[in-house]
């Protein structure tokens, strides 16, 4: 199998089948490899059928050869130049809104402030009946 095909070589093949996980490409009469969905093109591929059809001629790069299992890993993406990324706009940090000031009301339910609790704790610490002996 690897007499003709070597890892790293670029070969023209024909798409023979498409599955949800990749496309099978014939590299010769008796040799076939798989282009995994992640190796179809640069960027995200949701559906391979949007990019390839059975019978398409494609240029592929041989990524791996497993003679024992008879598998050849291929990549179409490796034969294409990566697209130039557009500069992302710099995001300005959001300004936080100040918390609303809620006036204290008599007998309000909720958490006591630390200032209020501190005096209560001091009073408790001085009581003889609460001190453990």
Asked whether residue 27 is assigned to any structural domain, the reply reads: yes
Asked whether residue 108 is assigned to any structural domain, the reply reads: no
Q: 75 vs 5, 39, 43, 89, 99, CA distance in Å? A: 14, 5, 13, 32, 55
- Residue pair 45/15 in contact (Cβ under 8 Å)? The answer is no
Asked whether residue 89 is assigned to any structural domain, the reply reads: no
Separation between Cα atoms, residue 37 and residue 97, nearest integer Å: 45
Q: Is the pLDDT at 54 greater than 70, yes or no?
A: yes
Q: The domain spanning residue 69 has which CATH number? A: 2.40.50.140
Grade residue 57 by pLDDT with cuts at 50, 70 and 90.
very high
| pTM greater than 0.75 (yes/no) | no
């Amino acid at each position: 199998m690897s007499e003709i095909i070597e890892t790293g070589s670029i070969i023209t093949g024909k798409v023979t089948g498409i599955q949800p996980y990749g496309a099978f490409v014939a590299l010769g009469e008796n040799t076939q490899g798989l282009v995994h969905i992640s190796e179809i093109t640069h960027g995200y591929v949701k559906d391979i059928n949007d990019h390839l059809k059975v019978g398409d001629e494609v240029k592929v790069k041989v990524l791996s050869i497993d003679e024992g299992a008879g598998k050849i890993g291929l990549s179409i993406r490796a034969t294409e130049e990566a697209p130039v990324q557009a500069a992302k706009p710099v995001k300005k940090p959001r300004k936080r809104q100040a918390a609303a000031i809620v006036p204290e009301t008599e007998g309000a339910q909720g958490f006591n402030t630390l200032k209020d609790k501190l005096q209560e704790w001091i009073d408790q610490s001085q009581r003889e009946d609460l001190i453990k002996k």
